[in-house]
Structure formats: C-alpha cells, structure tokens
C-alpha cells in the first residue's frame, strides 16, 4: 500500500503537519519543530522534547491505556492484572468470533480515543507516527504479524473517496513497515454502503453488515498463508466477524486480527 509521506500545510501547521517523515525530511522536521512547536492532540499544550510521542505530551502520554498481558487472546481486551486462565471475556462470549487470535494496542479512552477520532473524523494522518509508537511500546505486535498477509477492513469506495484514505489500510501499513516479513493485500472490498454503526446494538450491527463484504474480484486466498485482519477499533467484533466469515469461505484457515483500539 502507498504510505503518505507528504507534508500537508492546510489549516494549523502544528496540527496538520505529517508526523511520519522519511529520513530526508527529518532535518526539515526538526526545523519545523522550532518554527511551529507541536501541539498535544489531547490537551493542546506544546509537546515537550522528552515525550515518547510526537503529538502527545508527556503528562498526557501517561493517560494512554496501553494494553499488556494478561488479556483476552481472542479480542485483546485486558484482564486488568487478573490471571487470564479460566476467564471468559465478555466481548467474545457474545461475539462468537470467526477468527483465531486477536490483539489490540490501547483502550479507547483519553489520548487513545483522541488518536483514532483524529484520524477518522478529522483526517489527522500525522497521528500515524504515534500509532506506530504505541504499537512498538507494548512489544506485542511486531512478532505477531511475522510472515502474515495483513488484510485491512475496507471502506466503501464512496466513504474512502470522502475521507481520502482508509484508516485500517494506514494501520496495516504501519505494522508491515515494522516487520519486513509481513505484507498488506487488499483482499476484501466493501460492496454495500452500510449506515454508520456507532448507535447500533450488537444484533443491529450484524444485520447492518450482512453481505457488506466480498473478496476483491480477481483475488484468491492461499490456504497455507496466515492472514491477519486489521481494523482501527474492536467494538463488538461485528465488522471483523463479517469480514472473517467471507475470508473463511474463501479458504482462509489461519486467520487472526489486530486492532489499534479496543472498547
Ligand atoms: Zn497533553
Ligand atoms: Zn475477548
């Protein structure tokens, strides 16, 4: 997939400047940091030089709810320090997942939620660099996608035109960029322009997604490959399940999932 390395200068330069720069642009980036101090996406204060993140200040970075073990092996939801053995995950009991293992990087609260919403609803593609840093911070994702074919959950073409990019493809590109053995393939297409799922319950989401996805015309799956579906957020698992059902039918035997956020 094509990764957008362009520096956009529309609107506020501190907010729209790409945080994901090729090496040649790093010197220019340092200069821009002096001219336009980067603002924290959560609190709007300038980001201090000691922060692990480009667009999250150090105090706000402490509010990032990074997901670590123990957590649900199917959807990635954390068990908050309790032992994972013999625990049923409330998300997966109701979801009846059609996929195998799953991992999520951060809970959808505070700066984690702000990152996802900035990317999806405000086209703040510069947060991709901080998403990469979140994935790396837990150390659980680079090995997880080794040798995998990453399949972004597709947007309907109308929605993708409107947004200008598919956030799941962007996230899949980040993961593949960190592990040279992984690749991204757009094996799924969204054939039905479904209504937004934000206000739908679990059953309504399932109905809303009926026949929404299909294998990309002309593509086929290799039963020997390991596939990993990539989405921005795990909410009820309905979208991932709808995609997984299509991929299973098309011959995917090894099928796992990764999302950036959970909740
Ligand atoms: Zn802040
Ligand atoms: Zn779960």
Return averaged pLDDT per consecutive 10 residues of the chain, 263 residues in all: 35 38 59 78 93 96 94 90 67 88 97 96 94 94 96 96 96 94 97 79 80 96 97 94 96 98 94
In this structure, the answer to whether residues 56 and 132 fall within a common structural domain is no
208 in any annotated domain: yes
Residues in Cβ contact with 221 at an 8 Å cutoff, skipping those fewer than 6 apart: 187, 215, 227, 247, 250, 251, 252
The rounded Å distance from CA 115 to ligand 1 centre is 12
In this structure, the answer to whether residues 57 and 95 fall within a common structural domain is no
In this structure, the answer to whether residues 108 and 186 fall within a common structural domain is yes
In this structure, the answer to whether residues 48 and 107 fall within a common structural domain is no
In this structure, the answer to whether residues 44 and 94 fall within a common structural domain is no
In this structure, the answer to whether residues 182 and 255 fall within a common structural domain is yes
Distance CA 240, CA 188 (A): 12
In this structure, the answer to whether residues 51 and 145 fall within a common structural domain is no
The domain that holds 238 is classified in CATH as: 3.40.50
Predicted local distance difference test score (pLDDT) of residue 165:
96
Q: Which ligand is nearest to the Cα of residue 41, counting in written order?
A: 1
220 in any annotated domain: yes
Predicted local distance difference test score (pLDDT) of residue 2:
39
The rounded Å distance from CA 242 to ligand 1 centre is 37
Q: Which ligand is nearest to the Cα of residue 47, counting in written order?
A: 1
Predicted local distance difference test score (pLDDT) of residue 13:
33
Instruction: Output the six-digit token pair for 131.
Output: 């998403």
Q: Domain boundary at 46, 61, 76, which? A: 61
The rounded Å distance from CA 202 to ligand 2 centre is 15
In this structure, the answer to whether residues 128 and 177 fall within a common structural domain is yes
Number of structural domains the chain divides into: 2
Predicted local distance difference test score (pLDDT) of residue 15:
37
Q: Which ligand is nearest to the Cα of residue 53, counting in written order?
A: 1
Q: Residue 132 region, left (φ>0) first, then alpha (ψ -120 to 50), else beta?
A: alpha
What is the span of the domain harbouring residue 213? 90-262
In this structure, the answer to whether residues 57 and 94 fall within a common structural domain is no
In this structure, the answer to whether residues 43 and 101 fall within a common structural domain is no
The rounded Å distance from CA 56 to ligand 1 centre is 5
83 in any annotated domain: no
In this structure, the answer to whether residues 216 and 151 fall within a common structural domain is yes
72 in any annotated domain: no
Are 148 and 142 in contact, with CB atoms under 8 Å apart? no
In this structure, the answer to whether residues 175 and 45 fall within a common structural domain is no
Query: 0.95 exceeded by the pTM?
Result: no
Are 39 and 15 in contact, with CB atoms under 8 Å apart? yes
């Amino acid at each position: 997939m094509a990764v957008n390395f362009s520096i956009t200068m529309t609107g506020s330069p501190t907010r729209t400047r790409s945080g994901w720069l090729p090496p040649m642009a790093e010197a220019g980036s340092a200069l821009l940091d002096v001219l336009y101090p980067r603002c924290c996406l959560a609190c709007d204060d300038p980001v201090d030089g000691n922060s692990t993140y480009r667009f999250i200040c150090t105090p706000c970075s402490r509010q990032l709810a990074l997901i670590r073990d123990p957590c649900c092996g199917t959807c990635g939801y954390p068990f908050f320090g309790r032992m994972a053995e013999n625990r049923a995950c409330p998300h997966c009991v109701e979801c009846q997942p059609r996929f195998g293992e799953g991992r999520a990087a951060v809970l959808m609260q505070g700066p984690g939620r702000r990152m996802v919403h900035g990317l999806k609803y405000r086209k703040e593609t510069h947060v991709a660099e901080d998403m990469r840093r979140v994935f790396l911070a837990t150390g659980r994702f680079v090995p997880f996608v080794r040798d995998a074919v990453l399949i972004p959950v597709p947007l309907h073409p109308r929605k993708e035109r409107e947004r200008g990019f598919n956030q799941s493809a962007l996230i899949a590109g980040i993961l593949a960029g960190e592990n040279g053995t992984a690749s991204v393939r757009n094996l799924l297409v969204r054939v039905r322009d479904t209504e937004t799922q934000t206000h739908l319950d679990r059953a309504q989401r399932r109905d809303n997604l009926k026949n929404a996805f299909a294998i990309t015309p002309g593509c086929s799956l290799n039963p020997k490959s390991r596939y990993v579906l990539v989405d921005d957020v795990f909410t009820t698992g309905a979208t991932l399940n709808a995609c997984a059902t299509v991929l299973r039918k098309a011959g995917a035997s090894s099928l796992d999932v990764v999302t950036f956020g959970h909740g």
